[in-house]
Structures are given as structure tokens and as C-alpha cells.
Structure 1
Amino acid sequence: MKKLSCALGLSLFLLAGCGTAEESTEANPAEAEAVKEVQQENYETASHETKVNGNTESNDQMTKEKAADVLSQYKDTFMEVINAGPELEEYESKEEIIQHFSTIMTPEYAESLADTYIREENGSLSVVATETPLWLREDQSYTLTEVSEEEYEVIQHINNQLRGRKEVTFTLVMEDDTWVVGKVETRNAEQEDKYKAGSDDRVEGDMNHK
């Protein structure tokens, strides 16, 4: 009888505890709303960590490795079209090629490349016989410079047998939470090297003269 009374008392205690917990939740809607807001904030923070060109990390954290990955995709996307030539029968229009380029380039730059390298005549497409753009050489040194939170520049000096020594600036911009190539600028680095060498000679001569 004593054991039965203890068991009955324990059961009543547990039931009372459960009822108290439910009453606490129902009696404090402000607390429940606060929990909901925290959960929503955590969700939004996690959502901001989106996939950028295959890498899951914060979009504003550009690195040399990520920049090289974007420029590698840029090269592959462009060469996929060029290697399908010279006659591009699998593409129905230049606009389709521009859309393909735009997966890793800004629409403006994609259109510029299509106008330079793709010929459209009598409803047919073909590749223009000319040199391809200069690509980033990952095995050689290059610099990464932040222009703004949504724009970076990758600069590299490249020795090309036909073009000579060039300084190439790849501009990467953020569009729709994705890093893409905005433009590529090339200038002659040999003239700059000669100018620097001449400046050094003049400075050395002035010092010897003194």
C-alpha cells in the first residue's frame, strides 16, 4: 500500500511538472517570439554563406585561390565555344553564346568577347581566326588588389612569344552573389621596364656626378 501511494505521488508530480511547462510556454508568448526571432536571424546568417563558384564561404572574402578558380572557369567557358569551331553548328545564335559566356562574365564583357571572336553570317556562326585572350598562369606570381568590397583586380606580368611582355589586369566583380570577370586589360610591360631602367640609370649617373 505504501509503495502504491509513492508511485501515485510520483505520477502526480510528473503530471504537474508537464502541466507547468505547457502553461509556461503558453503564458509567455513574448519569450516564444524571441526564440523565433533568434532562429530566423541564425537562418539568415547561414543563408548569407552561399556557394560562390563551387566554394562555400562568405562572398566578401576574396582570396588568390578563389580568384584563380574564377579565372580558370572563365578560360574553360570561353574555350568550350572556341574548341567547338571553326563552324559553330551547335549554337543557334550569337546571343546563345553570349548567354553561355555570361555564366562567368558580366553581360557586357561576354558580348564584347562574342563580337571579337564570333562571326555571324547568313544565319551561321564561326570562330574568328585570331589569338585567344591571355589567361592567368597560376604557376607564376600574380597580385590580388581590393578595389572595393565587390571588385578586385588580379595583375600578372606574362611573357608571350608573339606579343612580348604584357601586364594583364583581370577585374573580378560581384554580380548576383557570384564572382565573375568584368573586364581584362592588357598593356605593354616592356616599355614600362625600359622606362624604369632608364630612370635607374639617370639616378645612378646623378649620384656618380655628385
Structure 2
Amino acid sequence: MKINEHEKDHVEQKLREFPTHNLSHSSQESMHQNVIRTLKNNEKNERRGTIMKKMIAGIATVAAITLLMFLVMPTFLDDDENTGDNTTSENEQQEEQDNQDNQEEQNDEQQNEDDQNKQFTKETAQNVMQNYKQNFTTLIDSAEQDGLLPSFESQSEVHDHFTEVMSDDLASWMVESYINEEDDGVYLIAKDGPTWLAEDTDFSIEEVTDEHYKIIQERNSEMLGHREMIYHAKWQEDKWIVDSIDSKKLEEQVSIEQKSQEIIRGLHDRQMEYVANYVHEQKGLLFSPYVHVEEDAVTFEQDEVASLLDDKTTYLWGNYDGSGDPIELTPSGYFEEFLNVEPFLSPDEVLVDEYKQRGNTTNNIEEEFPEATVVEFYKSGSGENEEMNWSSINLVFEQNENGIWKLVALVSDQWTI
């Protein structure tokens, strides 16, 4: 039992106040019990006070904690909500960033692919020219025997077909040159096709800009002569197309002379299909029995020249010199009388753009064909009548829209009265 100092002093004071006379044993015992009881009661009271204080302190603590929770909880909740919102916002931002990164990566890949496709090499040039040729030959292959193109209903549709591999201007020229629209359909005009890139001949490429290249090839053939063909390739709508075609003469007089010799050989052999390949596509071929060319001289289209000797029609070719009688002959008869070209297989003279007045008939070829190049094959006379039995033939050439020299006239010349 624990007694504090105050209680101890109090008990001692009480004990001093007791009487000094002798007490009985029972009285002493009773007094002792009272003292003990008093001390115990005091201790209990002290314990109750301590417990009460602890309880009050505990209740106060709980109340304080509860109040603190009420005060702090909304903040925690707001923080949680804000944390959730922040987390969601961060996720959305991350997702948006990922999408942006993916898009940029795809754009980079597409740009790299475009850059690779845009690179222009000799292989690229071959592919461009092959597509250009195939686009046209597909059209020819689809034509029926009479030239009808059953897959097309108008020139506009053919134009759209051409623009898959060539520019709008070039497609328009192709349609104008090779396509004829009639009431019953669209027809292919029979004539020489465009000049393709020769697969067995080397070529070069020249950069004009990163979207414009020249494909250059030197050609020397019977049909073209000695020329430099220039194909312009341009980058359009994410692909290379043929934009336009140019050509440049190389030693043109020599090539025209060689071409003329081939025509003479074809006339001699009566291979008119071969000769027709040299005929101008738009102007056809004019025949004049004398060097004075009449305005109404007989002219045949290119496709008519190919089968000319099979034609049994009698034509008026002009009038005979001297008599003035009409020259009425079939094409075969005209060839026998005015186009005997055997002497010109070994001519005495070949002149290019040199006009000579050989007989009495006025030569007006230069006036009638001011933009032409004329090649004359001359065979002198022989024997006693050498001044009268000479002959010559003039092959007249004009350039077509591609700059290629094409035959437009065969003008015969001989001694006249």
C-alpha cells in the first residue's frame, strides 16, 4: 500500500491526538482497523481519480482524433480524386504522345518510301518507258479488225487511259493522232505508232530538277534517220510519267539521203507497205508526174499507200505535157509510166535541197513545200538522145509533230516540150 507524504503526516497527527491512558486490547484492535480502513478508502479514492482522469483524457483524445478525421478526410478525399484525375490525365497524355510518335514514325516510313520511289535511275527510266509503251500497245491489242475499240465509248475515256502513264497534254496529242470517234464507236487510226525507247540501245539520263529527268537515246534507223530522242519524265501524283517527247537532228542530211535510198528500193520492189511507213501521218503522199505541182494533185492517206497497187480505180493524175490530154491511169499504170525508179538505184547525182531547172517545166516544189527538205535522184540521158531521155525523181519530206521527217510527195521530172 502506497501512502503519499500528506496522508502520512495526517495519520501521524491523528495518532498524536489519541489519549495517553491505557486502552484495552479490543479498543486497540478496533482503532487499528479504523486506521487501516481509512487508508484503504483514501487509496481507492485516489485510484478512482486517476482512472477518471485517464478516461477523460482518453475520451478527449478520441474526440480530438474524430474531429481531426472530420477535418482532414475531405482533404484526403480531394487529394485522392485529384490523384485519380492526374493519373487519368497522365495516361491520356501518354496515350496521345504514343499515338503522335506512331504517326510520326509512319510518316517517316512513308517519306522514306516516297523518297526511294522518287529516286530516278536507269532502271526507273526503263520502267517508265515500258509502262508508256504497254499502255499504248494494250489499246492496239484490244482493237478489232476494223480498228474498233470495244472497251471505250469515247475519246475522253481513251484520254483517261493514256493519262495513267503520261501527261494530259501528251495524252491529248495521242488521242488526236491515233483515235477517231464515230457514231458507232471509237476507232484506232491505222498508222505508225510512237517512237519507243529501243530496248537494245543504250541511253542516258539527265537531271533537270529532282522531279524532272530527261531520258536521252541516240537513234539511227531507216524510219527515224539519225536522231537524238529525248523523253521527259516528271514526278506527278506520287509516280513518274512521260510528260513530253522531243527529238534533235543529228547529221540530218545524211540520214534523209539514206532514208530516200530505202524508199527508192521499196518503190522498185513494189513493197508499198514498207514505203507507207515513211509517209506523213497527217498529210499523206502526193503524186505529181511533173515538177510543176498542181494544186489538185492526187494525194493518198498513209494507210491507202500501203495497198495502193491493189487499187483498180482510175485516177486523173494531171495532163500530159505537150498534148494536154488527161493522165487517167490506175496506180499500177501510173507507176509503170511515171515511177520507173530502176535508174535511180544507181543515180548519177543525188542532191539535197539543191533545186535545178533541168527542163522546160517550171519547178515550183520549193513554193509548194516551203518547209520541206527535198532529195533529188538524177539519172542522165545516154546515146544520141541523151538530152531528152534523162529523168529524175524528187522525194519531198516534212517534219511531223514529233519532229521526224516524213515523206509528203513524189515528184517526177523528165524532158518536156
Are 1:78 and 2:136 counterparts? yes
- In 2, the alpha carbon distance for the partners of 1:136 and 1:59 equals 21
Distance 1:26 1:89, change over 3 A: closer
1:136 alignment partner, one of 197, 209, 221: 197
Query: Aligned-pair distance for 1:98?
Result: 0.7
Which position in structure 1 is the counterpart of 2:116? 58
Distance 1:27 1:122, change over 3 A: closer
Are 1:46 and 2:104 counterparts? no
Matches within 5 A, 1:42-191: 42-50=105-113, 58-85=116-143, 86-191=147-252
Determine which structure has more spread, i.e. the larger CA radius of gyration: 2
Deviates more, 1:62-71 or 1:82-91: 82-91
Query: Aligned-pair distance for 1:99?
Result: 0.7
- In 1, the alpha carbon distance for the partners of 2:228 and 2:239 equals 26
- In 2, the alpha carbon distance for the partners of 1:187 and 1:140 equals 17
Aligned Cα RMSD in Å?
2.7
Which position in structure 1 is the counterpart of 2:100? 37
Query: Aligned-pair distance for 1:192?
Result: 9.2
Query: Aligned-pair distance for 1:160?
Result: 2.3
- In 2, the alpha carbon distance for the partners of 1:193 and 1:37 equals 66
Secondary structure of residue in 2 paired with 1:83: helix
1:112-133, CA deviations, whole angstroms, 9 ceiling, x for partnerless residues? 1111111223343222222111
Query: Aligned-pair distance for 1:159?
Result: 2.1
- Which amino acid counterpart does residue 228 of structure 2 have in structure 1? E
Structure 1 gap ranges (5+): 1-22, 52-56, 195-210
Is the Cα contact below 8 Å between 2:227 and 2:249 reproduced in 1? yes
Query: Aligned-pair distance for 1:30?
Result: 5.8
Distance 1:59 1:87, change over 3 A: same
Is the Cα contact below 8 Å between 2:118 and 2:239 reproduced in 1? no
Distance 1:157 1:28, change over 3 A: same
Distance 1:123 1:38, change over 3 A: same
Secondary structure of residue in 2 paired with 1:59: helix
Query: Aligned-pair distance for 1:171?
Result: 0.6
Secondary structure of residue in 2 paired with 1:46: helix
* Percentage identity across paired residues of the two chains: 28
Choose between structure 1 and 2 for higher RCO, CA contacts under 8 A separated by at least 6 residues.
1
Distance 1:168 1:35, change over 3 A: same
Secondary structure of residue in 2 paired with 1:184: strand
1:158-192, CA deviations, whole angstroms, 9 ceiling, x for partnerless residues? 12222212211111111110111101112322239
